[in-house]
């Protein structure tokens, strides 16, 4: 597994190049294409290259001109969450890397969404438990006082 | 002609579909292991993929499953098996499809690279025609294009120039030039190759992609025709190349796919692998505008040698950086023509 930060594969925030009036660029010279109906890549959580581990199923061999292999599968792992994305949708390694990152950002978005849902549920559950405990305590208190009253009434009789 | 006939239950053994049997005939006149298509039995795309993957494995063909998948998807009009619908995969192949699959897979049995078998391949966002023996673009080279584009975008961002010009040495199928042209509308490129077949293929790919207006392709050898290049080509903002960089001694250990089918002249860089690279550097001194850059793909052993070379012999050039490829091997060298005050 290679740490992506080891190479000069820089992630440029898409917003920085939108101001020039030209086609906006993202990583490694790809124009930013906003697909209608899909959540825009801009809105998805940003991924930092230092948090990624990338692996290429290219087999052993010297690489470059000395190798002719057609395997171009990209395996991308997001270290903080442990999410792993595998992509071999296209015949281009570069495109697969880009797609893997898009898929990862989509998954992170869902993950974050689930996170906040989970937190909400957890908070509600805690609140319910607290209410329940208070009720139980109140009832116990009532029973205790009733018992005390009974005891004192008994004593008065004798 | 003698025909050797071997009958065996191919389908039954391999696909686990017990009812179906297929008989195939091996003819000794065809490639070793070549099979004729099953005559009277239906086969689905899925089954064909498995069948041929097994067959390739039996014959020691590298990447047997991938080869089978790419070829059969191609016959079905798709680039990868992933893009073929589940339904289509389970449909039986038409007679025409079967014939085509069998014909193409038989070619793969001769160790022909998949890219030559289907006569196309992708490079970044382009689909290019492939034709033997023109060099097949490697995935590493996609990163070379990214490096060039990053710098060109910076120039564009700062200066908004509409007259950017580049030179590609050894264009092959046109992958590098055409990628750059597609991404940068204001760019014009002068491309050359010592192979006429490559020149024709680059031209054909340029026409297919509608980029022919901004590309000049010439049949020229960077070592032998240096003067002609200097007279035909104007000053450029950059030079880019994936030149032959293998050492001659390493040529004989190449995998069969490469050795048997690709143009050796596109691979062999001489004793030290630097024969073509030296010429490109020499050209750079003369053809580059001030601070223009040279982007090279090289062998992992080359960067320090190139650095030393220009220090000793090319005072007009500055070594900027070495960049690693995705397998973390030193793979790309970026150099720059010195400006007045450098």
| Whether residue B26 has pLDDT greater than 90 | no
Among this protein's residues, is B328 annotated catalytic? Answer: no
Among this protein's residues, is B341 annotated catalytic? Answer: no
> Residue B70 is nearest to which of A58, A70, A89, comparing CB atoms?
A70
Q: What angle do CA B37, B40, B42 make, to 5 degrees?
A: 80
> Residue A90 is nearest to which of B79, B244, B255, comparing CB atoms?
B79
Map residue B192 onto helix, strand or coil. strand
Distance, CA of B245 to CA of B298 (rounded, Å): 6
Closest Cα in chain B, distance from residue A20 (Å)? 7
Among candidates B177, B174, B192, B195, which has minimal Cα distance to B266? Answer: B195
Question: Does B124 sit within 8 Å of A69, measured CB to CB?
Answer: no
| DSSP-assigned letter for residue B243 | -
Query: What number is the average pLDDT over the span B248-253?
Result: 97
**Using one digit for the tens of pLDDT, what is the confidence trace for B101-145?**
999 999 999 999 999 999 999 999 999 999 999 999 999 999 999
CB B1 within 8 A of CB B29: yes
| Any A CB within 8 A of B124 CB | yes
Distance, CA of B55 to CA of B49 (rounded, Å): 10
CB B104 within 8 A of CB B117: yes
| Whether residue B19 has pLDDT greater than 80 | no
The first and second tokens of residue B207, run together, are: 């026409």
CB A68 within 8 A of CB B257: yes
Residue of B nearest to A32 (CA): B183
**Choosing from B37, B113, B243, B303, which is the catalytic residue?**
B243
Q: Angle, to 10 degrees, between the axis of helix B45-58 and the axis of helix B95-108?
A: 20
The per-residue pLDDT for A126 is 87
Q: Which domains does chain B have, with CATH numbers?
A: 2-110 (no CATH), 121-337 (3.40.50.150)
For residue B55, what pLDDT band results from cuts at 50, 70 and 90? very high
Among this protein's residues, is B207 annotated catalytic? Answer: no
The first and second tokens of residue A1, run together, are: 């597994």
| Any B CB within 8 A of A33 CB | no
Q: What angle do CA B301, A57, A52 make, to 5 degrees?
A: 90
**Choosing from B64, B238, B242, B244, which is the catalytic residue?**
B242
Asked if omega into A66 is within 30° of 0 (cis), the reply is: no
| Any B CB within 8 A of A17 CB | yes
Q: What is the mean pLDDT of chain B?
A: 90
**Exposed, middle or buried: residue B33 (CB in 10 Å: 0-12, 13-18, 19+)?**
middle
Distance, CA of A11 to CA of A96 (rounded, Å): 16
Among candidates B176, B56, B198, which has minimal Cα distance to B124? Answer: B176
| Any B CB within 8 A of A91 CB | yes
**pTM summary value:** 0.79
**Residues contacting B43, CB < 8 A, separation 6+:** B11, B20, B22, B51, B92, B93, B98
Question: Does A20 sit within 8 Å of B157, measured CB to CB?
Answer: yes
Instruction: Look at A59-73, B281-295, B325-339 and tell me which has the smallest mean pLDDT.
Output: A59-73
Closest Cα in chain A, distance from residue B39 (Å)? 31
Distance, CA of B22 to CA of B93 (rounded, Å): 14
Query: What number is the average pLDDT over the span B59-67?
Result: 97
- Report CA torsion sign: B229, B232, B234, B239: negative
Q: Angle, to 10 degrees, between the axis of helix B140-159 and the axis of helix B175-183?
A: 30
Q: For the CA atoms of chain A, what is the radius of gyration?
A: 30
Instruction: Look at A5-14, A51-60, A111-120 and tell me which has the smallest mean pLDDT.
Output: A5-14
The per-residue pLDDT for A18 is 28
Q: What angle do CA B14, B19, B25 make, to 5 degrees?
A: 55
**Using one digit for the tens of pLDDT, what is the confidence trace for A100-152?**
999 999 998 887 777 666 667 788 888 999 999 999 999 999 999 999 999 88
């Amino acid at each position: 597994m290679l740490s992506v930060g080891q190479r000069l594969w820089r992630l440029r925030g898409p917003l920085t190049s939108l101001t020039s009036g030209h086609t906006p660029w993202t990583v490694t010279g790809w124009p930013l294409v906003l697909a209608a109906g899909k959540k825009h890549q801009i809105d998805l959580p940003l991924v930092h290259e230092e948090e990624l581990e990338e692996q290429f199923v290219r087999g052993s061999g010297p690489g470059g001109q000395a190798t002719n292999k057609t395997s171009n599968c990209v395996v991308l792992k997001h270290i903080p969450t442990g999410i792993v994305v595998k992509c071999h949708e296209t015949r281009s390694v570069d495109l697969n890397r880009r797609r893997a990152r898009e898929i990862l950002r989509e998954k992170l978005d869902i993950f974050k969404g689930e996170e906040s849902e989970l937190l909400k549920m957890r908070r509600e559950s805690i609140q319910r438990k607290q209410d329940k405990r208070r009720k139980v305590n109140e009832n116990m208190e009532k029973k205790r006082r009733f018992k005390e009253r009974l005891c004192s009434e008994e004593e008065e009789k004798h | 002609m003698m025909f050797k006939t071997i009958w065996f239950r191919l389908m039954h053994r391999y696909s686990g579909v017990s009812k179906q049997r297929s008989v195939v005939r091996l003819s000794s006149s065809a490639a070793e292991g070549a099979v004729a298509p099953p005559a009277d039995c239906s086969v689905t795309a899925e089954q064909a993929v498995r069948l041929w993957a097994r067959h390739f494995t039996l014959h020691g063909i590298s990447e047997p499953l991938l080869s089978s998948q790419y070829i059969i998807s191609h016959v079905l009009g798709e680039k990868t098996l992933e893009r073929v619908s589940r339904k289509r995969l389970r449909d039986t192949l038409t007679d025409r499809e079967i014939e085509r699959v069998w014909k193409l897979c038989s070619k793969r049995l001769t160790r022909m690279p998949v890219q030559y078998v289907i006569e196309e391949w992708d490079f970044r966002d382009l689909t290019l025609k492939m034709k033997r023996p023109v060099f097949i673009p490697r995935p590493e080279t996609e990163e070379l294009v990214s490096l060039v584009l990053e710098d060109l975008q910076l120039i564009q961002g700062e200066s908004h120039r509409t007259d950017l010009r580049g030179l590609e040495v050894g264009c092959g199928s046109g992958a590098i030039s055409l990628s750059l042209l597609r991404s940068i509308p204001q760019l014009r490129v002068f491309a050359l190759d010592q192979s006429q077949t490559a020149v024709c293929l680059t031209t054909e790919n340029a026409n297919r992609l509608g980029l022919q207006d901004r590309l000049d392709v010439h049949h020229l050898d960077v070592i032998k025709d240096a003067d002609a290049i200097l007279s035909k080509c104007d000053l450029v903002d950059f030079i880019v190349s994936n030149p032959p960089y293998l050492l001659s001694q390493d040529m004989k250990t190449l995998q069969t796919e490469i050795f048997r089918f690709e143009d050796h002249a596109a691979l062999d860089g001489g004793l030290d692998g630097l024969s073509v690279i030296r010429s490109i550097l020499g050209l750079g001194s003369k053809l580059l505008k001030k601070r223009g850059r040279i982007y090279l793909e090289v062998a992992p052993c080359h960067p320090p040698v190139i650095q030393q070379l220009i220090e000793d012999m090319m005072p007009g050039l500055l070594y900027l950086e070495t960049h690693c490829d995705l397998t973390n091997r030193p793979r790309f060298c970026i150099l720059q023509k010195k400006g007045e005050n450098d």
